[in-house]
Every structure is written in C-alpha cells, then in structure tokens.
C-alpha cells in the first residue's frame, strides 16, 4: 500500500464493514466508526505491513498489519462487497503472514466478530484459534475533574530523556510477554500528534497508557480511546490500573471530551473486573483469535486492543 492508496483503501474498508453490519441482527444503526480513522496512523507506523488487492486498476481489498515486537497483529481487513467470495481475503493474508515472518513474530493475533462463522473459519486456515471475548467498554464523564498533572505525560518530558523512557517502556511490556514492544506505537502517536502517553512511577515505570484523541486518530469524535495500557507485574494491579484510568479520564476532561473508551480482554480477568468496577459498561463484544496460548494469564493487568 502506498500513501496515495490510503483514501481509496479506507473507502473500501468503510464500504465492506457497512455492508456486513447491515446483516447483523439487532444492531442499532449509527455512524460507522464514529469518525475514527484507522489507516493513516497505522500506515505511518508500519507501511511495510499494509497491503491492497487490485482489480482492473481499482483497489478492492486492504489489510493493515503491525509488529509490536514479538507480537504481530492485523486489521482492519476488508474486501469490497462486489468482490467478496473470490478468495481475495486469503490473497491479502498470504503477504501478511510473510510480513510477520520477516519481523520474526512469535505470537500472531486479531479480533473479529464472534457471530461470524465465515470470518472465524477463514482465520483458522492461517493457524488462528478462537480464545476469549474482548469487551469494548465506555464511561461517560460528569461533574468536575482536576486537570492531569503534566508530569505524567510523556510529551512534557525533556527530550534528552526519551531514550531512557523508551527503554523503560520496553522493559515493562517485555516483562509481561517476552519481546512485546509498543514503542513504535508510542512514537507514531506522538509524531502524528494523535494522542498522549501517560505513565506512572519514579525511576521505574509502574504503568503506562497510550491514549488517542480526536480528530484524525483511532478515537471516535468526542471520545478518548485507550489504545494500550499496562501495569507492571511488580505493582498492585488493581490500584495502579485504577490510577491510570483516572488519569485517562482527567486527560479526556481537560481536552473537552466527556467519554472514555476502554477495550479489555476478558481473558485478563482481574483487569476486566477492575475496569467494570470503575463504572465502565460494555458496548459490544469481539472475539480474540491467536496463533498460540502464549500470554493467556488471567492475572495480567494489560489492556491491549488488537482491532
């Protein structure tokens, strides 16, 4: 995928998802993606992992992949409704798997619709196995909130300390899952000015949260979206997770946003229960699929959205 393909590829993604969601029983009609934009940020972060399928000179399919260190994710993947059922999705997945091999990815993952047997069957062909559900939760903010102390924002740290924090973040995520590294996610978020990274702890980071802010990011309009959040295994998980969520809420409030979206994997049961206890409610459920059982630890305080 080239930069000039982004607009046409995004139109294919929107059309394919709209077409599919029209078939979902009981779905409440509403704006597709709510103004969130998934392709520009991900293409800038990892252009080598972005692929398109063409027919007669037009783009008819697209897939976006990224390697978070040893963890490889892809999506959204879409095929234009007029070209579905012709094997295009499988053709898009073949170079995606080659990309993961080139990055020496050990764990591959994705999320999909839990009620779509066609999607699940397709991904099983490539070694993915159904796991637990992902709850996309949200919380409406009300009342007054004090602003977040700037000392918790990576963007307010001295430029000379960037390498230090990058190494701290890499050490934190690697302690949860060997080789997991989201520094490129953090760097892209800041380089494109689509969000903030919150962190807590002194000389040793206790937890961090990568947040997207509208417009032009993966956050729907009017919402702060938590893309990634984790707590060190050395810390009191519920306490630090609660502090990070409060910090996200205060950041949202200070930017004029009155809603926070937090996806959480139910396989991380303690984290899931902590999120619900803070007043977050489930909007919808998705199915996580993985290439192995690695990282299936219910004690992890990790909110890693694989959409």
| Whether residue 195 has pLDDT greater than 90 | yes
Structure token digits, residue 48: 């080598």
Q: How far from chain centre, in Å, is Cα 140?
A: 20
Domains of the chain and any CATH numbers: 3-105 (3.40.630.30), 138-304 (3.40.630.30)
Do you find a cis peptide bond into 215, omega within 30 degrees of 0? yes
Structure token digits, residue 4: 């000039």
Write down the pLDDT at residue 26: 61
Closest CA to 176 of 295, 56, 8: 295
Digit-coded pLDDT (tens) for 146-178: 989 998 999 888 776 777 888 899 999 999 999
| Distance, CA of 158 to CA of 167 (rounded, Å) | 15
Digit-coded pLDDT (tens) for 75-113: 999 999 999 999 999 999 999 999 999 999 999 999 999
3-state secondary structure the chain: CCHHHHHHHHHHHHHHHHHHHCCCCCCCCCCHHHHCCCHHHHHHHCHHHEEEEEECCEEEEEEEEEEEECEEEEEEEEECHHHCCCCHHHHHHHHHHHHHHHCCCCEEEEEECCCCHHHHHHHHCCCCEEEEEEEEEEEECCCCCCCCCHHHEHHHCCHHHHHHHHHHHHHHHHHHCCCECCHHHHHHHHHCCCEEEEEEECCCEEEEEEEECCCCCCCCCCCEEEEEEEECCCCCHHHHHHHHHHHHHHHHHHCCCCEEEEEEECCCHHHHHHHHHCCCEEEEEEEEEECCCCCCCCCCCEEECCC
Digit-coded pLDDT (tens) for 221-240: 999 999 999 999 888 999 99
| Whether residue 258 has pLDDT greater than 70 | yes
Structure token digits, residue 82: 């007029």
Beta bridge partners of 284: 136
Structure token digits, residue 182: 């989201």
How does residue 27 score in pLDDT terms, banded at 50, 70 and 90? low
| Whether residue 28 has pLDDT greater than 60 | no
Residue 109 phi/psi, 5-degree rounding, is -150, 165
Write down the pLDDT at residue 171: 92
Indicate the range of 18-22, 63-67, 260-264 predicted with least confidence. 18-22
Q: What is the pTM of this model?
A: 0.94
Write down the pLDDT at residue 116: 92
């Amino acid at each position: 995928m080239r930069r000039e393909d982004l607009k046409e590829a995004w139109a294919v993604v929107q059309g394919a998802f709209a077409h599919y969601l029209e078939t979902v029983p009981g779905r409440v009609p509403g704006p597709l993606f709510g103004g969130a934009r998934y392709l520009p940020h991900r293409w800038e972060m990892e252009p080598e992992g972005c692929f398109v399928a063409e027919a007669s000179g037009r783009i008819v399919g697209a897939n976006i992949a990224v390697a978070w260190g040893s963890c490889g994710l892809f999506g959204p993947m879409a095929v234009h409704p007029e070209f579905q059922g012709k094997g295009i999705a499988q053709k898009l997945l073949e170079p995606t798997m080659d990309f993961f091999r080139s990055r020496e990815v050990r764990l591959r993952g994705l999320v999909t619709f839990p009620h779509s047997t066609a999607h699940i069957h397709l991904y099983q062909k490539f070694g993915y196995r159904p796991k637990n559900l992902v709850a996309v939760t949200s919380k409406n903010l009300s009342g007054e909130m004090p602003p977040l102390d700037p000392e918790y924002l990576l963007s307010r740290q001295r430029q000379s300390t960037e390498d230090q924090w990058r190494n701290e973040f890499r050490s934190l995520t690697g302690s949860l899952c060997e080789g997991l590294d989201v520094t490129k996610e953090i760097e892209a978020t800041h380089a494109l000015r689509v969000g903030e990274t919150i962190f807590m702890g002194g000389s040793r980071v206790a937890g961090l949260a990568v947040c997207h802010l509208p417009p032009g990011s993966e956050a729907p309009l009017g919402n702060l979206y938590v893309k990634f959040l984790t707590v060190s295994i050395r810390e009191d998980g519920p306490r630090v997770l609660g502090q990070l969520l409060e910090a996200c809420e205060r950041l949202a409030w200070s930017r004029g946003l009155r809603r926070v979206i937090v996806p959480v994997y139910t396989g991380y049961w303690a984290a899931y229960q902590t999120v619900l206890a803070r007043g977050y409610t489930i909007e919808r459920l998705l199915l996580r699929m993985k290439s192995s059982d690695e990282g299936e630890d219910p004690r992890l305080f990790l909110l890693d959205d694989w959409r």
